[in-house]
Chains A and B, each alone.
Chain A
């Protein structure tokens, strides 16, 4: 009569151990690759998101690719459609504010606020590039004193702002 043993045969235990090792090595390699991807990508592509004031005050940023944000001065917008060049000025807005629309309005009304000339090449003029829009730009401040932007994002908070109707008259009978 054959003997029955509940213990796993040695060769099977070995196979399981070998498979587990394969899983551990494979998993470790994948994890290491993903971490490497994230770290190297971040180190290469990370950009400081600073204010116009920070950029102008700190000489270390000259020629360095950074991300800045400012209020668009509508009167300064010029578009050379033949060469697809956009020029405009942005005004410093603080990094912390309660309400973006008010911050943009206040910045443009402040004659002492720092201003920065922007040049964007080879771009169609965006619909949202208008007075009191927030421009978020990626590029570098060059020695010519102009910020050369490669990427331009715009946000018009006034479009989402809660406003109230003006010049209302009452109709007492509706009450």
Chain B
């Protein structure tokens, strides 16, 4: 019954989405208000319809409906309830449906919030969102249907008796549930981790969220309403998508750090890079859009960035799901590859054609020109250049070089992590320097003298920090300079907050706390942005510490033996084999972590034996200073081998991520306007 409900609601959602797109386009052409409203209502209804389909699948997963082949392939009777739920995005078919659910949710939100204020843009925006939703729902219904069931066809030859179809084939018999339960494959062990509970939804929210700014940009291009209306309508959506994508990337790193057992969190794998690419272009857009709002410049560029962000999202989805890119993350090679490539090409082509058309007509001409090389708008453009250069370098290494070499040389040429680092390190240094200088320059024009004066305090603090690090003997000069560059950006953000609060403290006689709160309230975007910069600074410190100063050793210890690693000690206490509630056997080493001779923690690295593969789970003693991270390689009660990592400052990467999220929430949080002020405004308006 759940399969039927799911299938029917999926089909209904697709019909509604197709109808909504068609009604909006016809309504625009015919000028029919009723048709437009009908299209809007259909678009709103896609959310409950997709929600019903998703609820049917979740219920099937939770109640162990193994006749549904998706449930059979991602769960088994031993799967804990939480992973039954997360199995919704544990494989291709479920995750595509989940993607559609999120897109319908975003569409619902965008229509509810913007229908009245952006009446001219909305029909075009709805048509774009619904065309995208139709595509994904179509994939779910026709190629990757999560509601297919196992059937037995007794009249067929034995090798073709078991089939998987959405509709009941003639003469088909349902297989016995107990046999299905016994043979169910269960969730990939690598996905049974806390990070996997929230990493994919965050990443999908980020990916899907960028559809909304794209839809509004396309609407502005198609309708000819090229004022800043589309930017105002999508500013918050862009920040929301961006923060989810940031969170998704950070959580993905955390998952890799915890589960993949190599002591790192970013491997420059093509699929990781595919998720990073839209983030880079999206970040460029978030910055350059301010120039359009403040100075009426870069209109074509901003449109191009929004199109590029959506295009990167679609390309990333294609790269991950088509299976054509060699990656440790790829899904199975499936039939969705070609349709996704075609959809990506079609949407990008439509958007670029519209952009070119408007540009040729001179409708995207800037209201001002760049007048000063030190102005804030120039700094923001430089920042954009850096982000686009990062995008180009990572795209080139991940996709461009392998594809072009294969096409023209007949042999695939690839690059490894070291080359990616060679590309990105200088560009990230430039990015941090600009992150420091840009907030200190003024819109329009800044003299070198004024800029120099503004930089004095943060730059002096940076020099002082670098000297202190050198005196403390923290490491090589290169890494200390790296810290200096990163700290400079952070000091500027702190100094700007301090300067703003000081002005209020002195000018308005507010106490410091009140001054800071008022400062953030009055200019959420600017000061929220500074908090984001602080978060990026903290991440930068964590990345330098954990990559440049990582210690990695491997030792075999007899029971009771202690090994010294830097100022830590590790004692091997015991080795236990135990059975988990889901039936897997766990090989657990009990270890004591010592520091300067004193016990600081007990950790239990382990290896879990799943039917198809072992899974190594690290044991870690975490402090803000470093992670003492241990993997059990193998052994027995008497002797065991461990791989030991000391990852300095690695936790700052995760904490920086939290700061970044807080900053974005501040920047995107809707402004609360008191009722009395609204009444006053209404009374004043003619």
Binding site for B on A (CB under 8 A): 16, 19, 22-23, 26-27, 30, 34, 37-38, 41-42, 44-50, 54, 67, 69, 79, 81-82, 84, 95, 98-100, 122, 124-128, 130, 136, 138, 151, 153-172, 174-175
Q: Name the one of B179, B397, B427, B554 contacting A165, with C-beta atoms under 8 angstroms.
A: B179
B560 within 8 A of A: no
B433 to chain A, nearest CB (A): 13
Chain A contacts for B415, CB-based, 8 A: 41-42, 45-47
Task: Annotate B160-189 by CB proximity to A: 1 below 8 A, 0 otherwise.
Answer: 001010001000111111011001110010
Interface set, chain B 302-343, CB cutoff 8 A to A = 323, 326-328, 330-333
B210 to chain A, nearest CB (A): 25
Known: A42-B396, A95-B412. 14 other contacts (CB 8 A): A19-B373, A23-B373, A30-B385, A42-B419, A45-B418, A81-B554, A81-B634, A155-B328, A156-B613, A159-B613, A160-B188, A167-B179, A170-B173, A172-B173
Chain B contacts for A163, CB-based, 8 A: 73, 185
Query: A124-B631, A169-B175 are contacts. A46–B413 as well, Cβ < 8 Å?
Result: yes
B646 to chain A, nearest CB (A): 15
Report which residue of B176, B382, B402 has the largest number of chain A beta carbons within 10 angstroms of its beta carbon: B176
In the complex, residue of chain A having the shortest beta-carbon distance to the beta carbon of B555: A82
Give complex CA distance A174, B326 in Å: 43
In the complex, residue of chain B having the shortest beta-carbon distance to the beta carbon of A130: B613
In the complex, residue of chain B having the shortest beta-carbon distance to the beta carbon of A169: B176
- Chain A binding surface SS class: mixed
Please determine whether B332 and A41 come into contact, CB atoms closer than 8 angstroms.
Answer: no
Give complex CA distance A174, B176 in Å: 9
Chain B contacts for A156, CB-based, 8 A: 613
Tally B residues with Cβ within 8 Å of A: 71
Please determine whether A154 and B370 come into contact, CB atoms closer than 8 angstroms.
Answer: no
Chain B contacts for A124, CB-based, 8 A: 261-262, 554, 616, 631, 633, 643
Give complex CA distance A48, B409 in Å: 10
Give complex CA distance A34, B395 in Å: 14
Please determine whether A168 and B73 come into contact, CB atoms closer than 8 angstroms.
Answer: no
Chain B contacts for A174, CB-based, 8 A: 173-174
Please determine whether B185 and A16 come into contact, CB atoms closer than 8 angstroms.
Answer: no
Please determine whether A41 and B423 come into contact, CB atoms closer than 8 angstroms.
Answer: yes
Please determine whether A166 and B331 come into contact, CB atoms closer than 8 angstroms.
Answer: no
A55 to chain B, nearest CB (A): 12
Complex A-B, nearest 9 residue pairs according to Cβ-Cβ distance, in ascending order: A45-B419, A174-B174, A170-B173, A81-B641, A49-B412, A160-B332, A168-B175, A165-B183, A124-B643
Report which residue of A30, A122, A125, A170 has the largest number of chain B beta carbons within 10 angstroms of its beta carbon: A170
Please determine whether B422 and A45 come into contact, CB atoms closer than 8 angstroms.
Answer: yes
Chain A contacts for B174, CB-based, 8 A: 170-171, 174-175
In the complex, residue of chain A having the shortest beta-carbon distance to the beta carbon of B378: A23
Query: A50-B411, A81-B556 are contacts. A170–B152 as well, Cβ < 8 Å?
Result: yes
Task: Annotate B403-434 by CB proximity to A: 1 below 8 A, 0 otherwise.
Answer: 00000000111111111001100110000000
Please determine whether A159 and B179 come into contact, CB atoms closer than 8 angstroms.
Answer: no
Chain B contacts for A82, CB-based, 8 A: 556, 641
Task: Annotate B180-206 by CB proximity to A: 1 below 8 A, 0 otherwise.
Answer: 100111001000000000000000000
Give complex CA distance A154, B162 in Å: 32
Please determine whether B402 and A175 come into contact, CB atoms closer than 8 angstroms.
Answer: no
Please determine whether B73 and A48 come into contact, CB atoms closer than 8 angstroms.
Answer: no
Q: Name the one of B152, B332, B554, B635 contacting A162, with C-beta atoms under 8 angstroms.
A: B332
Chain B contacts for A153, CB-based, 8 A: 269, 328
Please determine whether A165 and B372 come into contact, CB atoms closer than 8 angstroms.
Answer: no
Please determine whether B634 and A170 come into contact, CB atoms closer than 8 angstroms.
Answer: no
Q: Name the one of A26, A37, A67, A100 contacting B423, with C-beta atoms under 8 angstroms.
A: A37
B150 within 8 A of A: yes
B367 within 8 A of A: no
Please determine whether B631 and A47 come into contact, CB atoms closer than 8 angstroms.
Answer: no
Give complex CA distance A78, B654 in Å: 36
Give complex CA distance A171, B178 in Å: 11
Q: Name the one of B154, B392, B554, B641 contacting A38, with C-beta atoms under 8 angstroms.
A: B392
Please determine whether B612 and A159 come into contact, CB atoms closer than 8 angstroms.
Answer: yes
Please determine whether A168 and B556 come into contact, CB atoms closer than 8 angstroms.
Answer: no
Please determine whether A166 and B183 come into contact, CB atoms closer than 8 angstroms.
Answer: yes
B401 within 8 A of A: yes
Chain A contacts for B323, CB-based, 8 A: 100
Give complex CA distance A156, B188 in Å: 11
Please determine whether A170 and B154 come into contact, CB atoms closer than 8 angstroms.
Answer: yes
Give complex CA distance A161, B176 in Å: 23
Q: Name the one of B162, B184, B185, B631 contacting A168, with C-beta atoms under 8 angstroms.
A: B162
B393 within 8 A of A: yes
Q: Name the one of B261, B412, B426, B643 contacting A37, with C-beta atoms under 8 angstroms.
A: B426
Chain A contacts for B417, CB-based, 8 A: 151
Query: A34-B389, A127-B261 are contacts. A165–B422 as well, Cβ < 8 Å?
Result: no
Chain B contacts for A50, CB-based, 8 A: 411
